Amino acid sequence: MGLINCITNCVSMQPRIAASRERLYRVALAWCGDGMLADDLVQETLSLALQKVHQLRDKERLNAWLYSILNNRWKQYLRSRRPHEDLDDDRACDLPGPELMIDRLEIVSRVRTAVAALPVEQRKVLALVDLEDFSYNDVAEILEIPVGTVMSRLHRARKGLVKLLDTEENAPSADQAGPSLVRVK
């Protein structure tokens, strides 16, 4: 491939990368539960993506590649935090403010609170599958974990969500209830 062709490809990817901001933000928010941190992570992801875009051989993989960068930034953030902080559940979710009083936004708030209560590794899988419709294989590749782990974390996450969200509504009957929410690391 000629250099100019490479340059053209890089430049042509710029709008696609920049246009991913909102989608990356939603997933980042689900992962970390903090709007400002999510935006920081996304900004860093986009910046890094633009620096490394020439390394992306398959343009069709752009989306998965971006989320894999986001995941690395997120992991890096978690590693850099103070040692005594719990990696799983101490991120404050976006608390409902005065504007979150109408019903729908109340649901939004409840969902975010419930998601924030899940272990971080479950949140990651859940957000990629449910918000971005990634296949299990894609998620495995993005997070660098086996597909089986994707499946187990996903179903634990969903069971956890059901349990957390149903607390205020219909508690599941005994035969429907699954095992208690188990944290996997």
CA distance 57 to 6: 10
Instruction: Tell me if 161 contacts another protein by CB under 8 A.
Output: yes
183 in contact with another protein (CB under 8 A)? no
- Binding string, residues 97-126; x marks residues near another protein by CB under 8 A: -------x--xx-xxx--x----------x
Report how far Cα 178 is from the mean position of its chain's Cα atoms.
24
Quote the CA–CA distance of 69 and 46 in Å, as a whole number: 9
Question: From CA 57, how far away is CA 59, in angstroms rounded?
Answer: 6
Pick the piece of the chain touching another protein (CB under 8 A) from 58-66, 72-80, 84-92, 152-160.
152-160
Cα torsion angle, 18, 56, 45, 130, sign:
positive
The Cα–Cα gap between 137 and 145 comes to 10
Give whole-number Cα distances, 134 to 19, 49, 174, in Å.
Answer: 18, 19, 32
From candidates 20, 32, 53, 142, binder to another protein by CB under 8 A? 53
List the one residue from 38, 69, 70, 143 that touches another protein (CB under 8 A). Answer: 38
Site of interaction with another protein (CB under 8 A): 2-8, 10-12, 14-15, 18, 21-22, 25-27, 29-30, 35-36, 38-40, 42-43, 46-54, 104, 107-108, 110-112, 115, 126-127, 129-131, 135-136, 151-152, 154-155, 158-159, 161-162, 165-166, 172, 175-176, 178
